Chain A
Amino acid sequence: MSLLEVKDLKVRVEEREILHGLTLTVNPGEVHAIMGPNGSGKSTLSHVIAGKPGYEVTDGQILFRGEDLLEMDPDERAAKGVFLAFQYPVEIPGVATMNFLRTALNAQRKARGESEFSTPDFLKKVREVAKSLNIPQDMLKRGVNVGFSGGEKKRNEILQMALFEPAVCILDEMDSGLDIDALRIAADGVNALRSPDRAMVVITHYQRLLNYIVPDFVHVMSKGRVVKSGGKDLALELEASGYTQFEDAA
């Protein structure tokens, strides 16, 4: 059984169709890259998979390990192992990052019928992961993403991904706004999480990120459809020729 299957998905926002029948199949251990110009519907796809309200699915299916994901609330999907690293992580003033991480992790564990982490175990785990991502302890005491630099916000997303150990990680433009050093740290963090039972969907506008996170498959999206799929070389091809050749195909 596939881990994640998006079948002929049609999505509307405010009466306008954004995704026009999109299909994507992701198996455990695979890394898929989704590339496409701005406005092609990449973020929309990631939001609909994660369950953001405000999107109307008019046709198609999303299955997660064979289960109908569209029937589940966002928190249920999270507890099942769907993780979305946001293109624009929000700020939550007054809520210390550490507190947020713990509340979220324990909520997921509880939903799965697992015991809550004890405080020492939790702290140990967070410190380990934070260290590997070059996240200072001090940052964890601050409000969630409040006053974080672009790079810090993205690292905070990857920190959460590492903590929650999801089955499917969707990374929406994690390279945007990062300089080369920050990008390398973030990519190393992601690569460390690659494993035979985990899949990743890496959404990006630029080929650059894929030098660091090397995908197994590349899909090109344009105007709400996947217009071409291939191996990692497709990304290089795109880099050379640009997206315009696909505009018409869509």
Chain B
Amino acid sequence: MPAVQETVERVKRIDVDQYRYGFETLIESDKAPKGLSEDTVRFISAKKSEPAWMLEWRLEAYRRWLTMTEPTWARVNYPKIDYQDIYYYAAPKPKKTLSSIDEIDPEILKTYEKLGIPLREVAILEGVEPPPGGEPSANRKIAVDAVFDSVSVATTFQKELKAAGVIFMPISEAIREHPELVKKYLGSVVPTSDNYFATLNSAVFSDGSFVYVPPGVRCPMELSTYFRINERNTGQFERTLIIADKGSYVSYLEGCTAPQRDENQLHAAVVELVALDDAEIKYSTVQNWYPGNSEGLGGIYNFVTKRGDCRGNHSKISWTQVETGSAITWKYPSCILRGDNSRGEFYSIAISNGHQQVDSGTKMLHLGKNTSSRIISKGIAAGVSQNTYRGLVTAHRKATGARNYTACDSLLIGDKCGAHTVPYVEAKNSSATFEHEATTSKISEDVLFYCTQRGLSQEEAVGLVVNGFVKDVLQQLPMEFAVEAQKLISISLEGSVG
């Protein structure tokens, strides 16, 4: 046995032993002890009943992370995070069970109402469950139906996906059931050493989604529909891996427009997409995490690494994001255009209000021949918020015929906020054509007056102008979400004028 192999085997054995003897009591508990150490990583891995190779993968990431320092280049400010003062694993806590719609916080209900989300779905999202025994009242009946509904709907979806050969399951399950796929692709787009937050995620990720679409298959549904009803509370270190095999297509929607709260302040997700020859992945996000109170306290820090690899020729990856929540957003969904004739797209609406700070954008790395990319970014800043677009477009020496079009538009509401555009462009070959356009505008008094003169309230006027501003991007969202996202945008800007 070669030495290296032997070492690996030995390490594995040690891990297993430690698991067997050291963790028994801990495993019973729902929470890992506070702080981050090798033990925390082992605990998480054991909790998920992971195979040894997965634990090793995590540990390697952890050791790497210890050598790294938190990045400071983004235009965001926050108090220093004490990584030893965080819980890295907590069993998904069921939300406090409510027995009727009446018990939901009226403020939250109001938001749902404005979003136009039907009551029965609100019941599901807010975890309303029928009381044990007893005659259900009219209100309760809605909840009962809704809960039953969600189960049956989910099952129907699962059957349909299975028939098509699509694998769609929590990544923790995929690690056990499809180790060959996970081993092959996990970390192949975002390596464990990629960046501070991605490395942290690799060590301690809690759960997330796994999707594999076999060759030639067009996924029979938007994976959103299913997602919205079932996947909540995936935790603060989410990990998603989507593979579209040759000639396949999948559209995936993450998040939802419903207001999301979480006790964990730090979120560091990683999303990896792999598109093989002629495959296409469309990934849409609506992010509405708690942005903090009016003084800027308590919001979510959202440090996300999202990257797609157009590994095959003629492959395509398209990111669409609507970012309205979080106190801090640090996020650059990117595309590696490796295959010849591959295409990457990035459509973004990033809204900041109150004390929110957004530093977001994309990277388009042209490696293959005749690759093309398109970036449409719409930043909206209100209140005393700061909104930065940060983008990088590069063409490798061999990427002949690379083309990029970038349009970054910023809209300011009021005069205490800021919008910044930081585009980096590097073309290492002369046949690349990169076009960049950027505008910054304010919602002018004249436009607002025009609208109010025609009978719109000040807030309706802002909503209308803003929705006009983001229209190109909204059109990229799946229909059902476009409508909700549009309302969400108006809601998140409430109180920004007047």
Chain A interface residues (CB < 8 Å from chain B) = 47, 50-54, 73-75, 77-79, 83-84, 86, 89-90, 92-95, 100, 103-105, 107-108, 111, 143, 160, 164
- Taken together as a complex, chains A and B put the C-alpha atoms of A52 and B456 apart, in Å, by 13
Contact status A74-B453, CB under 8 Å: yes
Q: Find A79's partner among B444, B455, B460 (CB 8 Å cutoff).
A: B455
- Taken together as a complex, chains A and B put the C-alpha atoms of A107 and B458 apart, in Å, by 12
Q: Does B452 touch A at the CB level, under 8 Å? A: yes
Q: Find A107's partner among B446, B460, B472 (CB 8 Å cutoff).
A: B460
20 inter-chain pairs at a CB distance below 8 angstroms, sorted by A residue, are A50-B449, A50-B453, A51-B453, A52-B445, A74-B452, A75-B453, A78-B452, A78-B455, A86-B450, A86-B453, A90-B444, A90-B450, A92-B450, A92-B468, A94-B468, A94-B470, A103-B460, A103-B464, A104-B456, A108-B454
Contact status B452-A75, CB under 8 Å: yes
Determine which residue in A74, A78, A83, A111 has the highest number of CB atoms from chain B within 10 A of its CB, and name it. Answer: A74
Q: Does B471 touch A at the CB level, under 8 Å? A: yes
- Which residue from chain A places its CB closest to the CB of B470 in the assembled complex? A94
- Which residue from chain B places its CB closest to the CB of A85 in the assembled complex? B453
- Taken together as a complex, chains A and B put the C-alpha atoms of A52 and B453 apart, in Å, by 8
Give the contacts of B445-483 with A (CB-CB under 8 A).
Answer: 445-447, 449-458, 460, 464-465, 467-472
Contact status A53-B445, CB under 8 Å: yes
Q: Which residues of A contact B456 (CB under 8 A)?
A: 75, 103-104, 107
- Which residue from chain B places its CB closest to the CB of A163 in the assembled complex? B454
- Which residue from chain B places its CB closest to the CB of A73 in the assembled complex? B452
Q: Find B453's partner among A54, A78, A92, A100 (CB 8 Å cutoff).
A: A78
Q: What total of chain B residues lie within 8 Å of the partner, measured CB to CB?
A: 23
Contact status A95-B468, CB under 8 Å: yes
Contact status A78-B468, CB under 8 Å: no
Contact status A53-B449, CB under 8 Å: yes
Q: Which residues of B contact A103 (CB under 8 A)?
A: 456, 460, 464
Contact status B450-A143, CB under 8 Å: no
Q: Find A78's partner among B444, B454, B471 (CB 8 Å cutoff).
A: B454
- Taken together as a complex, chains A and B put the C-alpha atoms of A84 and B460 apart, in Å, by 19
- Taken together as a complex, chains A and B put the C-alpha atoms of A103 and B462 apart, in Å, by 13
- Which residue from chain B places its CB closest to the CB of A143 in the assembled complex? B468
Give the contacts of B191-229 with A (CB-CB under 8 A).
Answer: none
- Taken together as a complex, chains A and B put the C-alpha atoms of A47 and B457 apart, in Å, by 17
Contact status B467-A104, CB under 8 Å: no
Contact status A95-B452, CB under 8 Å: no
Q: Which residues of B contact A164 (CB under 8 A)?
A: 454-455
Contact status A54-B445, CB under 8 Å: yes
Q: Which residues of B contact A108 (CB under 8 A)?
A: 454-455
- Taken together as a complex, chains A and B put the C-alpha atoms of A1 and B299 apart, in Å, by 57
- Taken together as a complex, chains A and B put the C-alpha atoms of A108 and B465 apart, in Å, by 18
Contact status A84-B453, CB under 8 Å: yes
Within the complex, what minimum Cβ distance (angstroms) separates B123 from chain A? 29
Q: A53-B445, A95-B465 are in contact. Are A89 and B450 (CB under 8 A)?
A: yes
Within the complex, what minimum Cβ distance (angstroms) separates A161 from chain B? 10
Q: Which residues of A contact B452 (CB under 8 A)?
A: 51, 73-75, 78
Contact status A92-B464, CB under 8 Å: yes
Beyond the given pairs A89-B450, A90-B450, A107-B455, 19 more chain A to chain B contacts, judged by CB atoms under 8 angstroms and listed by A's residue number, are A50-B449, A51-B452, A51-B453, A52-B445, A52-B449, A52-B453, A53-B445, A73-B458, A75-B452, A86-B453, A90-B444, A92-B468, A94-B472, A95-B467, A100-B464, A103-B456, A104-B455, A105-B455, A108-B454
Q: A53-B449, A90-B444, A90-B450 are in contact. Are A75 and B468 (CB under 8 A)?
A: no
- Which residue from chain A places its CB closest to the CB of B456 in the assembled complex? A107
The 10 closest A-B pairs by CB, nearest first: A94-B468, A95-B468, A108-B455, A74-B452, A104-B454, A94-B471, A78-B455, A107-B455, A75-B452, A90-B450
Within the complex, what minimum Cβ distance (angstroms) separates A231 from chain B? 30
Determine which residue in B454, B458, B465 has the highest number of CB atoms from chain A within 10 A of its CB, and name it. Answer: B454
